[in-house]
Chain A
Amino acid sequence: MERMPEFRLSRPATYAEAAALLAAEPGARLFAGGTDLVPNLRRGLESPSRLVDLGAVQGAAELDFGAGELVLGAGVTLAQLAADERIASQYAAIGEAARGAAGPGHRTVASLGGNLCLDTRCVFYNQSEWWRRSNGWCLKRGGDTCHVAPQGKRCHAAFSGDLAPALIALGAEVELLSGRGVRRLALADCYRDDGAAHLTLERDEVLTKVQVPAATAGWVSGYRKARVRGAMDFPLAGVACALGVSRGVIAGLRVALTGTNSRPLLLDGTQALVGKPLDAAGLAALGKLVHKQVSPMRTTVTPSNYRRLVAAVHAQRLVRELAGAA
């Protein structure tokens, strides 16, 4: 099999130790379930000098439904999220996103934190070293041309994690720990629109918790994923929606997408639908917002225009479905 790069493995017992290890060694990388990292390592996409295995950190996988908000440890697995009944009933988008990610063998170990920090993807990037060398490398790694948009100067690799849009739609915040202390950040602000540097986290920061505001009375949420096969595939476009309806009128609407841009995208302009009942004009307006704000590029084997179209279709369907259920 393709050889793994050589590294040392550390298994700290606390997040603080993990952060210290990151700070001490520039080549150190965090590692939880490894379902994204290890395939990339096998392809030679990264060669960390040290892997910091978070699997032994105590208390990393707690789900806390205390009053006021839901707190998820970054070590909670996708399998846990998919199976939890309270999540299914109160934060459906999270459960649906977790359930549809990859396959059962991945979800057993794949962590929330890892899924939020998934590397961006592109057909010119997720290839073997021989392939990438034959193709002259690329802007994201080893070269200076983005093969998706050769005239441009940025990387267009797409963010494709399923949990991020669900949590962004639910207004989640994260806690980041480093040697400098703890800081809180809106999840949406953890990302920037650059396929080669899509996380705003500092190199030595560890994402430790995700906090979701309490489900507002009447808010419902959901996540839909467009893909060709019924399992395993990353989203061609994934849409999450959180919707509040009060007396037949939309009280709040947040729509977030994945798979279409270099970062998960919170749709701008959904406020325009607030205060009215959901009707055909509103859905059409929603579709237009999606069309305008997603910018899929030729990073997947499925044409980008299709991904734009289905993103809008799924957004419209999901909102309509949730409005009907609310």
Chain B
Amino acid sequence: MSTAHRTDPGDAALRGEPTPPRHTGAVGQRTPLIDGIEKVTGRARYTADLPFGQALVGRILRSPVAHGLIRGIDAAAARAMPGVRAVITGEDFAAPYGVIPIAQNEWPLARDRVRYRGEPVVAVAAIDEATAEAALRAIVLDIEPLPAYFSAAEARAEGALPLHEKKVGNIERQVEQDFGDVDAGFAAADLVLERHTAYAEVAHGQIELNAAVAAYEPEWGRLTTHSVTQVPYYLHLTLAQVLGMDASRIRVVKPFVGGGFGHRVEPLNFEMITAALARAAGGTVRTQLTREEGFLTHRGRPATDIRLKIGMKRTGEITAVDCEVVQRGGAYGGYGLVTILYAGALLHALYRLGAVRYRGFRVYANLPPCGAMRGHGAVDVRHAFESLLDEMAGELGLDPFALRRANLIGAPYRTLNDLQVNSYGIPACLAWAEKASGWKERRGKLPRGHGLGMACSHYVSGSAKPVHWSGEPHAVINLKLDFDGSITILTGASDIGQGSSTLLTQVVAEVLMLPMARIRVIATDSALTPKDNGSYSSRVSFMVGNAALRAAEELKRVLVTAASVRLQVTPEEIEWEGERCAVVGTDKSADFAQVVEAALAESGTLTVKGVWSTPPETQGGKFRGAAVGSTAGFSYAAQVVEVSVDEDTGAVKVEHVWAAHDCGFAINPLAVEGQVQGAVWMGMGQALSEETQYHEGLAIRPNMLDYRIPTIAESPPIDVHLVESLDPLGPFGAKEASEGALHGFPPALTNAICDAVGIRLGELPATPDRLLEAIHLRRREQRQQARRAAVASAAPAPALAAPASALDARASGQSMSAAASSEAAHVASGGRPVAPGGAR
């Protein structure tokens, strides 16, 4: 098991960059999490652990029907039951909601219509679980079924009933983006290939079950909610909206959260239901969802079909890209608009592209609604892209690394779709991954069934334009310093295990040159902490880190000024050393307590604010949807995956992964490594074994046995190398580290499988059954070819050739020949019919 190494920043992005900071033991140091001890001792309290005494139990009755009109809800018997304190329906809410302000078509409890099996319809609050369950059993739902659609194709078919008003063809959003002259680009290409690929829907699989506790004080008309959210601010606004309450009467607190990965980046129905129950009951209600209910809440990565065409010169230079994406988004809007936009936007900013045409279709279906999941929108497209690059490299006789190197961006760079790239660590990432994996020495020379594959990827460090365009700064940090000499960082930023609170502490400690023990973080309590937009699209390190940097600098300025007054010199004569400061050239000094005393004497308790916003030039272009994909800094990654394939069972074992990630600067290299490993591994889950599945709209895998997230038994060693391109806008040069490496794993895997056995799978996950079917299909095709050849030459039939030219290709040091590879590709993707919007 190896650990990551730090590298010297080795990239053109260094030009104009301030000199690297003088690290005093905070940033840049491998730092265990400031809340790690609570976690390993079991003291950390997650929502379900919070001591609320005898709270009422909240339970939800869910629609058994995939699509239908609610004719009646008979809850009289439930309401009359002793011990039942509240029964609510969709009528008890003031407004629908949705995380994107222009797409709010979801009610916390279904109103008039149900649109997926599992949709919440009625909720009860009762004195205990037994009573709550009995109450649910006593409720009678009268639902008149409507035709239901379980695939994008069905939903788009002529005559299909629209799930939502005015959405003809059940298209939630259609995107058309054209940059440059794509047709000319294809005409100028030496090689043009087009492929169809299909991706199963996947789920976040965070280990903590969903839970919320809402306390309503009827005397004050006030609500306090504790919940598993990644976005306390959006939850706060949404509670006000759906409850018809003034936001000032609401308080949202986020305790320890056991993982998010995007499941909790939008306000979720059970959170609003719990609050409404609390209000109806006039007390405290706790709702704890089962794992099954978590899968029904869903908000995962949609099932996707992609048609991708790339035009390329003999040198590997990409002249044109034509991409069509169809996402099966489920029953409600959620983040849907954003997801279908990310799919197109992040075609760009990884390589130089000649011209790009993108068509995206986000389609409604009668299934649990999809949402944002780590890598949001760009994961499946990146798989299609990196797979096709690999295939075209083979056809042109180019090494996959060389092909990437033929399309490098030189930062600073403005993409075709108006995205700004200021730092670009791909060259260093490629160099390390190539070397560490022994690519040149080993590829093409591995034993039968073993293969190496590579891919690049990237992601945003937060969306440069926030979801709510209020004009406010994009991140705010408050610092408090009082008589006790401790500094409190007040932040609305949600630490969901990625280590954001630790990062903020390091930043403040670094600037003030103080030990981390002097600093505490108070986070995510709307009564105390400044608003933060939330932990999604990997914005926190970049944006909130910058705000913390500025806040700390301001506090330092205040303290230096106070010290100068006390020591009767000018601020410029003060040498700040953290626990003490001295007057340059003398032996006059003051310790921290004295400086604090001096500062407080002026104004009392110090509260200092730091804000940060993305510069306008990073906020994207002016065309419709341009904000999505815009960011102040892209992370970059390159990885190599080694596999061994069992050709008789289709089983794929990931032997090793080498992943290089350009995080700009690793404020906490320990946490960055951990996040990169987690991202790569999550990509592996999607690539190898994870998929949701539905039977007439009913989720078949709503548990942790059939929804197969990898166990430790089959999880590979993942070597991580951090590249530091020192982004000019990131705090200390830092960019995101939590998502960018994910997108690279799935294509690196299927590229490795192709290297190993010569089969390029056209769909994910690459489960043993799919791979075995493709292997068998190829064997049949080869036998047929051999028979035809024998007949044609009228010679005795040759001995059955060893399957594929994979072995021959290995001997000649190349991947498969062009003809066989195209055929294999067609064979592989033809192994399962891929209809547009194809459902399984």
Contact = CB atoms under 8 A, between A and B. Distances in A.
Nearest to A147: B695
A314 B650 CA distance: 12
Contacts of A230: 711, 713-714
A135 B698 contact: yes
Interface residues of B, number: 34
A82 to B, nearest CB: 15
Contacts of B129: 3
Nearest to A298: B695
A133 B264 CA distance: 29
A127 B769 CA distance: 24
Given A3-B130, A134-B698, A228 B689 contact: yes
Contact of A130 (B62, B65, B768): B62
A233 B708 contact: yes
A301 B706 contact: yes
Contact of B708 (A2, A124, A229, A314): A229
Given A229-B710, A230-B711, A306 B768 contact: yes
Interface in A117-132: 123-124, 127-128, 130-131
B700 A303 contact: no
A305 B650 CA distance: 13
Given A130-B64, A303-B769, A231 B711 contact: yes
Interface in B42-76: 62, 64-65
Contacts of A127: 292, 702
B786 interface: no
A134 B708 contact: no
B58 to A, nearest CB: 14
A301 B117 CA distance: 19
Interface string A96-134: 000000000000000000000000000110011011011
B708 A131 contact: no
A306 B769 contact: yes
A7 B373 CA distance: 42
> 6 tightest A-B contacts by CB?
A230-B713, A134-B64, A306-B769, A230-B714, A231-B713, A231-B711
Contact of B701 (A3, A147, A233, A301): A301
Given A128-B290, A306-B768, A232 B705 contact: yes
Given A230-B713, A301-B693, 6 more contacts: A1-B288, A124-B695, A134-B64, A147-B695, A228-B689, A228-B708
A302 interface: yes
Nearest to A234: B705
Interface centre among A226, A228, A234, A305 (most CB of B within 10 A): A228
A242 interface: no
A229 B689 contact: yes
Contacts of A30: none
Contacts of A135: 695-696, 698
Interface of A: 1-3, 123-124, 127-128, 130-131, 133-135, 147, 226, 228-234, 301-303, 305-306, 309-310, 313-314, 317
A302 B769 contact: yes
B772 interface: yes
Contacts of B693: 301
Contact of A229 (B649, B650, B713): B713
6 contacts: A3-B133, A131-B292, A135-B696, A228-B767, A313-B648, A317-B648
Nearest to B648: A313
Given A229-B689, A230-B711, A233-B708, A131 B698 contact: yes
A272 to B, nearest CB: 23
The A interface, classified by DSSP as helix, strand, loop or mixed, is loop
Contacts of A302: 767-769
Nearest to B714: A230
**Residue of A147, A303, A310, A317 most packed against chain B (CB within 10 A):** A310
Contacts of A147: 695
B773 to A, nearest CB: 8
Given A229-B708, A229-B711, A310-B649, A134 B772 contact: no
A228 B768 contact: yes
A303 B693 CA distance: 12
Interface string B213-236: 000000000000000000000000
B100 to A, nearest CB: 30
Nearest to B209: A1
Given A134-B698, A230-B714, A1 B117 contact: no
Contacts of A226: 649
Contacts of B701: 301
B578 to A, nearest CB: 48
Contacts of A234: 705
A228 B693 CA distance: 16
Contacts of A1: 288, 290
A134 B62 CA distance: 10
Contacts of B133: 3
A133 B65 CA distance: 11
B649 A123 contact: no
A314 B706 CA distance: 22
B708 A306 contact: no
Nearest to B292: A128
Nearest to B646: A313
Nearest to A128: B292
Given A128-B290, A134-B64, A123 B706 contact: yes
A233 B130 CA distance: 32
A228 B292 CA distance: 21
A131 B768 contact: no
A133 B64 contact: yes
Contacts of A310: 649, 768, 772
B62 A313 contact: no
A317 B648 CA distance: 10
Contacts of B64: 130, 133-134
A202 to B, nearest CB: 31
Contacts of A130: 62, 64, 292
The winner among B62, B701, B769 for most chain A CB atoms within 10 A is: B769
Contacts of A306: 650, 768-769, 772-773
Nearest to B65: A134
A229 B685 CA distance: 10
B772 A309 contact: yes
A148 to B, nearest CB: 11
Interface string B686-718: 000100010110101110011010111110000
Nearest to A309: B772
Contacts of B711: 229-232
Interface string B116-137: 0100000000000110010000
A134 B288 contact: no
Contacts of B705: 232-234
B700 A301 contact: yes
B700 A2 contact: no
B117 A134 contact: yes
Contacts of A301: 693, 700-701, 706
A4 B174 CA distance: 47
Contacts of A233: 705, 708
A303 B700 CA distance: 13
A301 B694 CA distance: 10
Contacts of A134: 64-65, 117, 698
A136 B633 CA distance: 52
A310 B650 CA distance: 9
A154 B769 CA distance: 27
B768 to A, nearest CB: 6
Contacts of A123: 695, 700, 706
A10 B117 CA distance: 40
Interface string B809-823: 000000000000000
Contacts of B65: 134
A78 B277 CA distance: 46
Interface string B603-621: 0000000000000000000
Contacts of B648: 313, 317
Contacts of B292: 127-128, 130-131
Contacts of B710: 229
Nearest to B128: A3
